[in-house]
Structure 1
């Protein structure tokens, strides 16, 4: 029985397909940057192919010219977005972080990070009362002042090496204590930091601002720059939804339960959120590198894509090539339709969310629009990731009616987006939402955020394997048993 299965053409085609998928997985695992470039290149080609067919059919434009037009428009648009949006988005991200922090409870034992210190400095320098006391020249110099203050606190937060003389004495004593053993390891660390100085801070601020303002601002920076502060806006939300006639003991218990839960969420966020936001300034360099090689790869792959499609079936032995060709053709059509659907819907949702945020009088519409577009590239799981920051932004206004209106609008937007996705994918294979969530979780654990994005395309490939290879084999087995 086992040998008969091994000889089946569909089983052999499945084995070859799994082998090639394993190679792709190894490449993706070894170098994330290479994986992103390859995935981005293939995605660009999948977006260009329908345009090339459309231009040839309706505009009678040659394939090479239509591909050139598509590549130029796509990458020119992406380049302009990166050049002109990275700086304002980075600033909005820094300010929005303050809103996130103001929502959660104050925790005295919270460890301050360099990003939070920078966020505090940005908050001090953007205060309206401060700006009202400055001249135009002083306002123009705030960016330089911000840079100098941040550099100063980087030096303050740098760990001071242990005292060499005291360290030698401690090591000698430790060596005497452990002289009977030879298998020990000594790890020396220091948790000491330099103390911030008012005079040093005032010296920096006085270089840019008038003496009166420099004095007051230096005091504010000295007292509050290295403190994790919060307005605890969560209390307003709990108060709004809590019944007015609730028992005082239950009220206190409810507040305490919500506070403990939010502290746990806050601790989870603080483990990675500052680190992510600190990397925003380096986004331009990394993206530029990826974009350059994606452009080069997309140019070559798009122009030779028809040749690649003809060659792909030759990766399989000749006797199973027809089966492989049907699988590859069906898989390509489904991947193409899925990529187009997801990208279009992500762009539409991002634009709509940005307009909604702006029309409701909320700040950071650019950041929220880009975040909505990005999170919608991750099906199902991306929606809550999109909604949470939007709700926190609305809550920061302390207008809970506005929060409810925003939630209703978001429900309508995503209901329309879901219907639009079904229309785009009509006639094509879709994956069960439960399986999608499981695949995103698993791929996210293996490859991080990039894994969450590629999980569904990988799931489409597996489903096509089931339809073309495994399901027909099982049906043949059942038919054989019925015939006997």
Structure 2
């Protein structure tokens, strides 16, 4: 009865709030403008906090440590723009320009294979040609872009407005990051101090566990992605793959998304290898298999450890659901968001079991009691 009343009350609250949703418009606008810079600043905070702690151990004041991090970060960004970005930009531009031709050549090769295979008679009866289909598709795509050019031009104002909001959000990231690095350690203590004394112990445990999970995931995932990008770039350079650095950078970026990232990263490399030569496909398979084995057996266990106990099936469902609800940001942030939710729900269930055991007189019916499963013969 209590659970039923709680469900009905929650439904009634949702119904009422749905009819007065206009009240929350300012809150929604505030969240839309605040979420992006806060997320970016939080990610940078977890990446830079270990370095800041090392500087504090070296007896450098926190303010000066933050200044050192800012100056060092600005120097690395400038160095990357001057040395690495022009080369990557040229390779990326060439890849974008040549990729349609690679794709068209691949379709032509597949069409030639099908025309000489056991399915040739069936396909000729259907008047099916993969090469013609590809050409018509590319022409339709070109016509689509020409027809929609006017619509795109009419939406320039909205695009500029959105871009301005994104730029302003990114500009505010250094300021938010500064105060997170400066006072980030004080925020949990202040939050716990607002709670009743009876709840502070459990709140400290939840905040500490959530902080550990989030820090391990962000720092570990970035390091793993960098390692994958470096290994893929080196491997592609060794086998003579075109656009090796761009493909390595793509592998590093997409590796942030578990399971789906490697599939996205290998797709352009596989198409280039298929068009280049059959031997290149074999070399690509060797490099990619070696990278995945090294990452899964050595790098991830050492960096990520066993901090996030999430089943692979759960990760796939989380990615599908968060991607459908929130798009690309949901795919990227779905796993850490699920990890935080799991921490909170685990502790809440722990408190529920503790409260239940306190009011249960029969020891065999308590959560803390042992569970005896029957064996194959049906005996316990």
Is the contact made by 1:75 and 1:295 (CA closer than 8 Å) also made in structure 2?
no
Partner in structure 1 of residue 182 of structure 2: 303
Quick one: distance in 1 between partners of 2:342 and 2:137? 36
Secondary structure (helix, strand or coil) at the match of 2:309 reads: coil
Of the two, which has the highest radius of gyration? 1
Measured after TM superposition, the shift of residue 349 of structure 1 is 1.2
Partner in structure 2 of residue 413 of structure 1: 291
Provide Cα deviations, 1:15-54, integer angstroms capped at 9, x if missing partner: xxxxxxxx9xx769952x6433211111111112222333
Task: Rate the CA distance shift 1:449–1:248 in 2: closer, same or farther, 3 A.
Answer: closer
Secondary structure (helix, strand or coil) at the match of 1:232 reads: helix
RCO greater where, 1 or 2, for CA within 8 Å and sep 6 or more?
1
Measured after TM superposition, the shift of residue 92 of structure 1 is 3.5
Task: Rate the CA distance shift 1:37–1:262 in 2: closer, same or farther, 3 A.
Answer: farther
Quick one: distance in 1 between partners of 2:235 and 2:192? 48
Whether 1:78 and 2:77 are equivalent positions in the alignment is yes
Measured after TM superposition, the shift of residue 254 of structure 1 is 12
Quick one: distance in 2 between partners of 1:255 and 1:310? 72
**Deviating more after overlay: 246-255 vs 42-51:** 246-255
Matches within 5 A, 1:336-351: 336-351=215-230
Is the contact made by 1:103 and 1:396 (CA closer than 8 Å) also made in structure 2?
yes
Is the contact made by 1:394 and 1:402 (CA closer than 8 Å) also made in structure 2?
yes
Partner in structure 2 of residue 454 of structure 1: 333
Specify which structure has the higher proportion of helix: 2
Measured after TM superposition, the shift of residue 413 of structure 1 is 0.7
Whether 1:353 and 2:226 are equivalent positions in the alignment is no
Structure 2 counterpart of 1:324, from 183, 187, 203: 203
Task: Rate the CA distance shift 1:261–1:63 in 2: closer, same or farther, 3 A.
Answer: farther
Quick one: distance in 2 between partners of 1:27 and 1:358? 48
* TM-score (structure 2 length as normaliser): 0.70
Q: 5+ unaligned residues in a row in structure 1: which ranges? A: 7-22, 105-230
Is the contact made by 1:36 and 1:450 (CA closer than 8 Å) also made in structure 2?
no
Measured after TM superposition, the shift of residue 481 of structure 1 is 7.4
Partner in structure 1 of residue 67 of structure 2: 68
- Superposition RMSD in Å: 4.3
Partner in structure 2 of residue 20 of structure 1: none
Partner in structure 2 of residue 375 of structure 1: 254
Measured after TM superposition, the shift of residue 82 of structure 1 is 4.6
Provide Cα deviations, 1:133-171, integer angstroms capped at 9, x if missing partner: xxxxxxxxxxxxxxxxxxxxxxxxxxxxxxxxxxxxxxx
Q: 5+ unaligned residues in a row in structure 2: which ranges? A: 7-23, 150-155, 366-380
Measured after TM superposition, the shift of residue 300 of structure 1 is 1.7
Measured after TM superposition, the shift of residue 257 of structure 1 is 9.2
Is the contact made by 1:431 and 1:459 (CA closer than 8 Å) also made in structure 2?
no
Whether 1:54 and 2:54 are equivalent positions in the alignment is yes
Is the contact made by 1:349 and 1:372 (CA closer than 8 Å) also made in structure 2?
yes
Partner in structure 2 of residue 36 of structure 1: 36
Whether 1:249 and 2:127 are equivalent positions in the alignment is no
